[in-house]
Structure 1
Amino acid sequence: MARLFSLIRDGTIALAFLVLVALIAAKLNDRPDIQHQGAFRAVDGDSLVLDGERMRLKGIDAPELTQTCERAGQEWPCGRLAQHTLQQLVSDDDTQCGGSERDRYDRLLVICRSRAGDINAHMVAGGMAVSYGGYRREEEQARVQKLGLWAGRFEMPRDVRDQARHENSGLQRLIGKWTGWE
């Protein structure tokens, strides 16, 4: 009988300990949103700066700033146009962006809102960005309506970045061979 009591007591203590650890972990993960308000500066089609804080729009991926796209057989500066579009959306003093996560470059991942609504959604719905873990419905609408990027041919922004990284690493290897710094 004493052995059964001891087993129940030890099991109860172990369960209580696990519940306590789970509650502590949940509290640590419950970071409050960092909120910013003002007239933001668009660095590119999915990145912003305000008062030195670098932010990236969560759930979307816009063309790289120097990226070009094709429409009706003509090249157009889709990266610059995405930046311009975002700048128009975030230039009001009442624009609010908030988030609690950071990306690998230490940029705050944010969802931005203004009088026009969800800015991240507007970028995708207008065809100036693609869905990147969110906004799939808006992307499908832009694709069906052939808006922005979807009016012609374009490379996915992540593919452009990967290609640039690959080209840069090849150049770095070549310079390393020439200089003996391999």
Structure 2
Amino acid sequence: MLRKILIALSLLVLPSLAHAADISGTAKVRAGDAVVIGNTRIRLGGIDAPAVDQLCLNTKAERWTCGIAARDELARHADGKNWICHARSIDRRGRTVARCEVGGEDIQKWLVRSGWALAYTRMSKDYEADEKAAREAKAGMWQGAFIAPWDWRVRNKKTTILGATKPPDGAHAVLLASASGPVAPSPDCTIKGNVNSAGECIYHRPTSRWYTQIRMKVSKGTRWFCSVEEAEAAGCRETKR
């Protein structure tokens, strides 16, 4: 009986400990809503940002890697600043879900208001007003057309398209595609990118020596680019061979 009482008490105490635990330090940005501080993987709670291989359309209906942009804008905004993350729970992937302050600023609020993430209202309504402000200002993803991150993960031909720009004919095909994977998102996206043993991002044109040997797999860190400019903007350099 005593053992059962102790177990019951421990279950009551553990959640409060999780909520009380703060994680602080500089962060390595992995995605628009995911960072690593020390050895702790953190998912920014209350928001949802595009995956790094998600594609969006700009005001000219041109495809762009909005997931990469969200990640890079967060990294640029938070560069060198101290993070303080208030842990809330653990998600199914083992990440700590937290609300984070960066240099005293609510970073989730900044991401949503800047148009690099959406308010994840299934979990929280804290950032609804910020999403409305971003939508009205046509900030970030809202400038063109895109699919909500949670819909993009389970996308199909009936998935709703959001944004300020009326989707042109064929928009669904572009927005349903991925910048990574075995199939290029469109016939003109023929440049292959991969990460070498030194951790550098390298891009290969169809005429380069190793082009046909690069196997495009999501798990291998490969991705497609639609132009040299796009590849270099993502921090990649051309192969030397």
Structure-2-length-normalised TM-score: 0.55
Higher relative contact order (CA 8 A, sep 6+): 1
Residues 35, 90 of structure 1: alpha-carbon distance in 2 compared, 3 angstrom cutoff: farther
SS of equivalent to 1:162? coil
Please list, as runs of the form range in 1=range in 2, the aligned pairs for 1:114-153 lying within 5 A after superposition.
Answer: 114-115=102-103, 117-132=105-120, 133-134=123-124, 135-153=127-145
Task: Name the counterpart of 1:12.
Answer: none
Residues 29, 50 of structure 1: alpha-carbon distance in 2 compared, 3 angstrom cutoff: closer
Q: CA RMSD in A?
A: 2.6
2:54 is equivalent to residue 62 of structure 1: no
In the alignment of these two chains, the number of paired residues is: 146
Task: Name the counterpart of 1:158.
Answer: 150
Counterpart AA for 2:143: A
Equivalent pairs: percent with the same residue?
Answer: 31
Residues 43, 139 of structure 1: alpha-carbon distance in 2 compared, 3 angstrom cutoff: same
Which structure features the higher share of helix residues? 1
Query: Aligned equivalents of 1:29 and 1:49: distance in 2?
Result: 22
SS of equivalent to 1:66? coil
Query: Aligned equivalents of 1:28 and 1:113: distance in 2?
Result: 24
Counterpart AA for 1:59: G
Query: Aligned equivalents of 1:92 and 1:112: distance in 2?
Result: 15
Once the 2 structures are TM-superposed, how far is the Cα of residue 71 of structure 1 from its aligned partner?
1.3
2:90 is equivalent to residue 98 of structure 1: no
4+ residue runs of structure 1 moved beyond 3 angstroms? 22-29
Residues 36, 25 of structure 1: alpha-carbon distance in 2 compared, 3 angstrom cutoff: closer
Task: Name the counterpart of 2:179.
Answer: none
Structure-1-length-normalised TM-score: 0.71
The structure whose Rg is larger is 1
> Which runs of 5 or more residues in structure 2 are unaligned?
1-7, 157-241
Once the 2 structures are TM-superposed, how far is the Cα of residue 100 of structure 1 from its aligned partner?
3.0
Task: Name the counterpart of 1:172.
Answer: none
Q: Is the CA contact (8 Å cut-off) linking 2:26 and 2:81 kept in structure 1? A: yes
Task: Name the counterpart of 1:178.
Answer: none
User: Which of 17, 24, 46 does residue 31 from structure 1 map onto?
Assistant: 17
